[in-house]
Amino acid sequence: MSPVIGIVMGSDSDWPVMEGAAKALDEFEIAYEVDVVSAHRMPREMIAYGEQAAERGLKAIIAGAGGAAHLPGMLASVTPLPVIGVPVPLKYLDGMDSLLSIVQMPAGVPVATVSVAGARNAGLLAVRMLAAHDEELRHRMTDFLQDLNDQATEKGKRLRAKVEGAAGFGFGGGK
């Protein structure tokens, strides 16, 4: 299957965070490619990647970078595809530098920014983008949400059993 999502990052050191996006796409059996594409260190290749992404068949790009994270915004400036930016936290500033670099885009060039290190959500957002034009994938996303709901309900049940069991009485309100 040819890739429909591009996962790119400023350095291979971002992979431990960016892997979360790949795993989310794996769960939905979405074909993706991964690469290091740095706006700062390889600007010509970065422009070429962005300019060719749509014609190569990609439907969205997930771009992660740390520090002065210009990669997602620069890619968004040369492709009509949706770009999802992942702020990667580094040793200093806890990812705030990266978050603000990615989220504060000028009007006209949007980047859908997820939370610091939120690569899993970037992957899931990409799945939703594809699902907008794919009914079967939309059903799978609905099932996924139902699973989350069931798990949260189960957590509530377990917590109530633990607390009410320890106290020896019910607090009411629980089912």
Ligand X SMILES: Nc1c(C(=O)O)ncn1[C@@H]1O[C@H](COP(=O)(O)O)[C@@H](O)[C@H]1O
Does 77 help bind ligand X (rule: CB under 6 A)? no
Q: Return all residues near 103 (Cβ < 8 A) that are at least 6 apart.
A: 85, 87, 111, 113
Does 9 help bind ligand X (rule: CB under 6 A)? yes
Does 84 help bind ligand X (rule: CB under 6 A)? no
Does 65 help bind ligand X (rule: CB under 6 A)? yes
Does 45 help bind ligand X (rule: CB under 6 A)? no
The stretch near ligand X (CB under 6 A) out of 8-16, 114-122, 133-141, 167-175 is: 8-16
11 marked as part of a ligand binding site:
yes
CB 59 within 8 A of CB 129: yes
Q: Residues of 69-104 as b/e, b for ≥16 C-beta within 10 angstroms?
A: bbbbbbbbbbbebbbbbbbbbbeeeebebbbebbbe
Site string for ligand X, 89-128 (x = CB under 6 A): -x--------------------------------------
Residue 161: Cβ-neighbour burial (10 angstroms; 0-12, 13-18, 19+): exposed
The stretch near ligand X (CB under 6 A) out of 68-76, 107-115, 140-148, 165-173 is: 68-76
Give the interface size with ligand X as a residue count (CB under 6 A). Answer: 18
14 marked as part of a ligand binding site:
yes
Place of tokens 């009007």: 107
**Distance (Å, whole) CA 128 – CA 131:** 5
Using CB under 6 A, list all residues that contact ligand X: 9-11, 13-14, 38-41, 65-71, 88, 90
